[in-house]
Amino acid sequence: MQAYKQILYTGFEPFGGSTVNPSILACRKLEGKEVNGYKIVVEEMPLRYKEIKGLIEQFVDKHKPTAVVCTGQGGGPHLNLERVALNLADARAAYNCGTKPTDEKLEDGPTAFFTTLPVKAIHARLREEKIPAELSHSAGTFGCNQLFYHLMSLVERKKLGIQAGFIHVPLLPEQAFDKRTASMSLDLTAKGLEVVAEELVKRI
């Protein structure tokens, strides 16, 4: 696959009764930016069980990126740098399409894939920038893990040899209001994702 000087970011549409999703909003703030000659392109991912696999393949084929960073809404106080994608769908809540898979394999493939993002270097750099971040060994078993698994499966099957992975971002302050849960401002989340791009470009 021919590689162009682009970094693909994806974020999810709102779900669970919320009207916003910080993942796609933060990605949109980076859309069109250039990081040392690499342009950031952004695509929104629907939280629809049967559509995710085909769409991530479509987006990668469309942009032919040199790196892919998929993002989703998490519930913690940090940017969670996910390390492992599981071949498992086991949803506690329904997808936006109403589907609620239980103990289903995502693909006829390996039990798990590891990220190819340099997560330890990214983690160290984010800490230098005073942006809350941590390494995570589980992206759950819902839509975020599903996207992560399909992405890494694609990278492996097509022998793309690119940096790719998944990052969970915290709720926005307005989402966390009166919920006794952590949040992060949209600007800080976007800054963190831009730092990620800077670290990726160093290794392309």
pLDDT, one tens digit per residue, over 154-180 is 999 999 999 999 999 999 999 888 788
168 is an active site residue:
yes
Position 128 in a domain: yes
Whether 193 is covered by a domain: the verdict is yes
Core vs surface per residue 166-199: b (16+ CB within 10 A) or e = bbbbbbbeebbeeeeeebbebebbbbbbbbbbeb
Q: Specify if 174 maps to a domain.
A: yes
Whether residue 97 lies inside any domain: the answer is: yes
Q: Is residue 132 part of a domain?
A: yes
Cβ partners under 8 Å of residue 87, min gap 6: 105, 106, 107, 109, 110, 111, 112, 149
Average pLDDT over residues 180-198: 96
* CB-based contacts of 179-184 (< 8 A; 24+ apart in sequence): 181/75, 182/75, 182/76, 182/77, 183/77, 184/22, 184/77, 184/79, 184/132
Catalytic residue among 78, 82, 150, 199: 82
55-105, pLDDT tens digit by residue?
A: 999 999 999 999 999 999 998 899 999 999 999 999 999 999 999 999 999
Active site residue 82: yes
Distance of CA 140 to the CA centre of its chain: 13
Find the catalytic residue in 168, 174, 194, 199. 168
* Residue 1 included in any domain: no
Asked if residue 185 belongs to a domain, the reply is yes
CATH code of the domain covering residue 79: 3.40.630.20
Q: How many domains does the chain have?
A: 1
Choosing from 70, 144, 150, 199, which is the catalytic residue?
A: 144
Task: Look at residue 25 and tell me if it is in a domain.
Answer: yes
- Domain span including residue 65: 6-202
Measured distance CA(33)–CA(76) in Å, rounded: 27
